[in-house]
Amino acid sequence: MRDATANLRDPWTAYRLRWKRRRLLWRALRARRGLRPVEDRTDGIARGEILLFAVMRNEATRLPHFLRHYRALGVGHMLIVDNGSSDGTAEALAEQADVSLWSTPDSYKGSRFGLDWLNWLLMLHGHGHWCLTVDADEILIYPHHDQRDLHDLAARLEAAGHRAFGALMLDLYPSGRLGGQTYVAGDDPFDLLRWFDAVGYRAVRQPGLRNLWVQGGVRERCFFANRPRRSPTLNKLPLVKWNRRYAYVNSTHSMLPRRLNLAYDGPDGHAPSGVLLHTKFLPSIVERSAEEKVRRQHFGDPAAFDDYYDGLIDDPVLWSDDSVEFRGWRQLVELGLMSHAGL
């Protein structure tokens, strides 16, 4: 911890990052002009409710399980930005009594991959709440999540002096070809996505922000073996006791103030943590990859990831003899992929 905190005392770095945070909050304030309220039910948010924030586009198939899972965990209200869906996602969300919905046709990439929109909504509505910020294909689990809801988790975190809760994003995949499976809205995605890579993860603490950088897993094994530094970042800080002065910097991978980034110390770490089960590899991934390769909205340098999209469009088999079948949160604790310290 000494090495992790020494940089926090550097006055010049602290000054520079304060100005960076102010710029991010200004961007969020400016981005609000691109958001059109569709159904604003935020007047009904009660004190102490757990809030969920997300940006979605064409997620009608995932939506029923997503809503069911997070309601069961105790989320009281969901604040969602729809970014040009054409498959009924926006219409379905507008009908949910516990959802406030905004829409925007603006560029996802131009909004820092949706962060400007989310930082604004978090600033406006999240202050003083435990806020969960996730993608539509991320399902949070944590030790005892089947018995203890997010209110219980938040109370335990606060009692231990924590204001943020980290998680490893864990890709799950089927045993056969990605596009050869069948999945319909309302199904449990983990009846299909049963396998994951249990080893091959590495973590490095970054200078400056002091955020962890975790890489590895199945996407690196299958698509980035020859350029591992290009493989996806797998660490996230999805659950935070929000303050209007906070800001996400790079997805939910890192935050300002930077002390919050020390809340997660990665696989085999000692800080309490969860796992975001990643449902990216449902059958629609093959068609969506072809679409996203053309849209070029998901990477700072999209051309550098054309090979990745091409690999997914080829409808691969990700399973290997070393793949491990998912059996629940206790298994992930035993493997060191999440920690129940203090929980």
Question: Residue 299 carries which DSSP code?
Answer: -
> How many CB atoms neighbour CB 136 within 10 A?
20
pTM over 0.85: yes
String of DSSP letters for 141-177: E-TTTTTS-HHHHHHHHHHTT-SEEEEEEEE-B-SSB
Tokens for 134?
């996730």
Measured in degrees and rounded to the nearest 5, phi and psi for residue 54 equal -160, 155
pLDDT in tens, the chain (343 residues): 445 555 566 788 888 999 999 999 999 999 999 999 999 999 999 999 999 999 999 999 999 999 999 999 999 999 999 999 999 999 999 999 999 999 999 999 999 999 999 999 999 999 999 999 999 999 999 999 999 999 999 999 999 999 999 999 999 999 999 999 899 999 999 999 999 999 999 999 999 899 999 999 999 999 999 999 999 999 999 999 999 999 999 999 999 999 999 999 999 999 999 999 999 999 999 888 777 656 655 555 556 567 887 889 999 999 999 999 999 999 999 999 999 988 8
Q: Is 135 helix (H, G, I), strand (E, B) or coil?
A: coil
Which residue in 247, 249, 255, 216 sits closest to 233, CA to CA?
Answer: 216
Sign of CA dihedral 335, 336, 339, 340: positive
CA-to-CA distance for 16 and 12, rounded, in angstroms?
6
Which residue in 219, 211, 203 sits closest to 253, CA to CA?
Answer: 211
Question: Residue 278 carries which DSSP code?
Answer: E
> How many CB atoms neighbour CB 298 within 10 A?
13
